[in-house]
Structure 1
């Protein structure tokens, strides 16, 4: 077996395929559509396309660049449409000496970036026709003034949901986009936590060491579940897309470490699975967790459990980030389960949790790919360790993960079909 397909650790899983993505092995969000994987980059700009119809021999197709100085690490697919985010490349800003490493995650981003004058980045979201899967054709660009769009949630239908930082706000807020005509998307509403609209006279009331900002919201039906980083999570009524309203809010930070990153509603069970993000090496920002909430009464969400951190190795001192990052979103074109949660766990690879008993989540499978051969990360003194960043599971039960430095991995899990 190739060294690339020999995991550092595996439980009820195996590696079956790998791609270095044409030499741009950094990957963040991944979508799989029509036998092709679309991967957003964080160090190399743009996004890449990989033919995964033979999962044991994925074939790099091409790289699609985005404007200079622009991050496009997040993307969405459904049917023949691909959406790609455009925002300021904060790593470029950081390494230019504009602020200290890691400061992007601390306090308000609006205090760190100058919005005045001409921006050296593209801010908004790009829409592509991918009816020809190997040759995306750009059909629209939605300009969102300011820092740009951080993340999008769109699983088909008339509405897309974005997090973006427009001028006049302290950080990313929730915005709804009319997507009935993909060639003419239009922002129709905004929602933010009190204290974020600085141009409207609001003042942040939270400790300035925390970052209150929308990472993104996942929408199921008329319910939005929003992750506000150190600001916790909110449930949002989006039944009126022109006037979304908060239903409830909960924030375990402090005393817990914060940075809520993903919020996956499981509507048939009245459950919410919440993932926090680890940003600092060696858990210097605290232990990050996965939470299970009971949201059967949406006005009063209650935490009922957490998952135990992986412990078969000393991940805290392995180097790099140890903690959750993303969860498979139960997308309509992919694998769906209200009991199995697939979570990328950075230096601890991929973890699969059975939450059929929501009070006692159990890890039932795991796979830690080997360390990368080289780093795509251009920041100084970075550790050479695995950094599993995102996960997508297709209808056949194949599991696709991305790594910040090691490319695309395709996995199988025992009993998953």
Structure 2
């Protein structure tokens, strides 16, 4: 069998590219999961989501595409066991008000979408879809949880009764935290909510900083604790021992002086550490250099920042174009690799990075791979540059690294460590 030619990376250190796929002509990808030898990826611009057979990682093959409902995106998804959970929300980047991405990343999103005053017509599907993936190549929709508002942004689900989501609901200024009862996967139900003071506009609350995004990107949950990345509002740790009534443990905010955009909070419970990533959201670092932070959380009510990850510097990434800086980290999925020593992250135009945190005070880069410029621009927004924008990363139990791009398809790599 002749294998397809592989793109040549712009830079590689201790990593090797072994497979690539354009995902059936839909090379744009956002969140990425691997389950039973199949990759599931949500699309930013091609709508819907795709399934790619990666049982032979050197020859990945697209096997299915499920379109999104009209005016709806399915950019984020979760798989565990025989279930696939897919978000349904307003397709923001197809809307006139968000063609300039600055409008999406600044200010109260609910005012622009219309959830604070119900002023906009609703022509999208909002909620969470549930699929049976016993046959992973052929997801079968079995349930849907509708919500009133902009929709669900991102979910955390690792099996069992509970899922957790960020949701833009009518009456709120931005995405809030929701617990979801999955006891009957065909009929998921909201269980509880938490929001920061000032977000419930319907109740007369007023945000303290109108110009900034105080909305939950998502939370990673370990045990009875949820670690929430609340964009410009920073880190919000919640007690979810009562799933119907999440409560605040502590809120830490560092923007300003730093640029905000908090996107991931990954607990490493055996070491009392927390990795927190701030997303770079503006071209050419107009929002400043963003960081991945190490926090000491041995006293949960007082998380303390103790280090930042090294910033890629082997090329002039600031001026390469588009976004330079962190976007996602691999979140130690229980059906994938679980490590509290190596952190796999995506740096957008600087590709994929592997960081050794065995000494949490001195994180050290030990691997990197920067794919080449994508062959074509799938991003339909005006004036977007054709530049690598590595988006998400997943690491399997056998150590294979899967990553995708807003325009460049699925990359499969081996880490040499």
TM-score (norm 1): 0.97
Match of 1:126 in 2: 129
Once the two structures are TM-superposed, the CA of residue 62 in structure 1 deviates from its matched residue by 1.4
Moved more, 114-123 or 186-195: 114-123
What is the CA deviation profile of residues 351-375 of structure 1, one whole-angstrom value per residue up to 9, with x for unaligned ones? 1111111111011100001110101
What is the CA deviation profile of residues 38-69 of structure 1, one whole-angstrom value per residue up to 9, with x for unaligned ones? 00000010000000000000011011001010
What is the CA deviation profile of residues 50-98 of structure 1, one whole-angstrom value per residue up to 9, with x for unaligned ones? 00000000011011001010011000000010000000011111xx256
Contact 1:40 1:72 in 2 (8 A): yes
Match of 1:136 in 2: 139
2:246 aligned residue (240, 244, 247): 244
**Number of aligned pairs?**
412
Q: Specify whether residues 261 and 91 from structure 1 end up closer, same or farther in structure 2 by C-alpha distance, changes over 3 A only.
A: same
What is the CA deviation profile of residues 96-154 of structure 1, one whole-angstrom value per residue up to 9, with x for unaligned ones? 25674421100101111234465111000100001011111100010011000000000
Contact 2:6 2:18 in 1 (8 A): no
Match of 1:394 in 2: 396
Q: Structure 2 unaligned runs (5+)?
A: none
Match of 1:312 in 2: 314
1:180 aligned residue (173, 178, 183): 183
Q: Does 2:164 align with 1:166?
A: no
Contact 2:113 2:120 in 1 (8 A): no
What is the CA deviation profile of residues 212-244 of structure 1, one whole-angstrom value per residue up to 9, with x for unaligned ones? 000000001111100000000011111111111
Q: Does 2:176 align with 1:153?
A: no
Once the two structures are TM-superposed, the CA of residue 4 in structure 1 deviates from its matched residue by 3.8
Contact 1:325 1:390 in 2 (8 A): yes
- SS of 1:25's partner is coil
Give the distance between the partners of 1:132 and 1:147, measured in 2 at CA. Answer: 31
Give the distance between the partners of 1:379 and 1:413, measured in 2 at CA. Answer: 34
Contact 1:393 1:399 in 2 (8 A): yes
Contact 2:232 2:261 in 1 (8 A): yes
Once the two structures are TM-superposed, the CA of residue 6 in structure 1 deviates from its matched residue by 1.4
Moved more, 136-145 or 98-107: 98-107
Give the distance between the partners of 1:369 and 1:354, measured in 2 at CA. Answer: 21
Match of 2:262 in 1: 260
Which structure 2 residues correspond to residues 329-340 of structure 1 after superposition, within 5 A?
A: 329-340=331-342
Q: Specify whether residues 254 and 3 from structure 1 end up closer, same or farther in structure 2 by C-alpha distance, changes over 3 A only.
A: farther
Which structure 2 residues correspond to residues 62-101 of structure 1 after superposition, within 5 A?
A: 62-93=64-95, 96-97=96-97, 100-101=100-101
Give the distance between the partners of 1:314 and 1:286, measured in 2 at CA. Answer: 15
Give the distance between the partners of 1:178 and 1:373, measured in 2 at CA. Answer: 43
Q: Specify whether residues 233 and 99 from structure 1 end up closer, same or farther in structure 2 by C-alpha distance, changes over 3 A only.
A: same
- SS of 1:151's partner is strand
- SS of 2:230's partner is strand
Give the distance between the partners of 1:103 and 1:299, measured in 2 at CA. Answer: 34
- SS of 2:110's partner is helix
What is the CA deviation profile of residues 195-224 of structure 1, one whole-angstrom value per residue up to 9, with x for unaligned ones? 101111111012x22110000000011111
Match of 2:199 in 1: 196
Contact 1:5 1:16 in 2 (8 A): no
- SS of 1:5's partner is coil
Q: Does 2:367 align with 1:365?
A: yes
- SS of 1:10's partner is strand
Moved more, 243-252 or 293-302: 243-252
Give the distance between the partners of 2:191 and 2:27, measured in 1 at CA. Answer: 37
Once the two structures are TM-superposed, the CA of residue 252 in structure 1 deviates from its matched residue by 1.1
1:378 aligned residue (371, 377, 380): 380
TM-score (norm 2): 0.97
Match of 1:346 in 2: 348
Match of 2:231 in 1: 229
Once the two structures are TM-superposed, the CA of residue 3 in structure 1 deviates from its matched residue by 6.6
Give the distance between the partners of 2:255 and 2:132, measured in 1 at CA. Answer: 41
What is the CA deviation profile of residues 293-318 of structure 1, one whole-angstrom value per residue up to 9, with x for unaligned ones? 00000000000000121000000000
Match of 2:104 in 1: 104
Q: Specify whether residues 99 and 14 from structure 1 end up closer, same or farther in structure 2 by C-alpha distance, changes over 3 A only.
A: closer
Give the distance between the partners of 2:181 and 2:121, measured in 1 at CA. Answer: 27
Moved more, 157-166 or 1-10: 1-10
Q: Specify whether residues 117 and 277 from structure 1 end up closer, same or farther in structure 2 by C-alpha distance, changes over 3 A only.
A: closer
- SS of 2:312's partner is coil
Give the distance between the partners of 2:390 and 2:340, measured in 1 at CA. Answer: 23
Moved more, 388-397 or 239-248: 239-248
Give the distance between the partners of 1:187 and 1:167, measured in 2 at CA. Answer: 15
Aligned residues: CA RMSD: 1.3
Give the distance between the partners of 1:151 and 1:389, measured in 2 at CA. Answer: 14
Give the distance between the partners of 2:347 and 2:381, measured in 1 at CA. Answer: 21
Give the distance between the partners of 2:326 and 2:130, measured in 1 at CA. Answer: 29
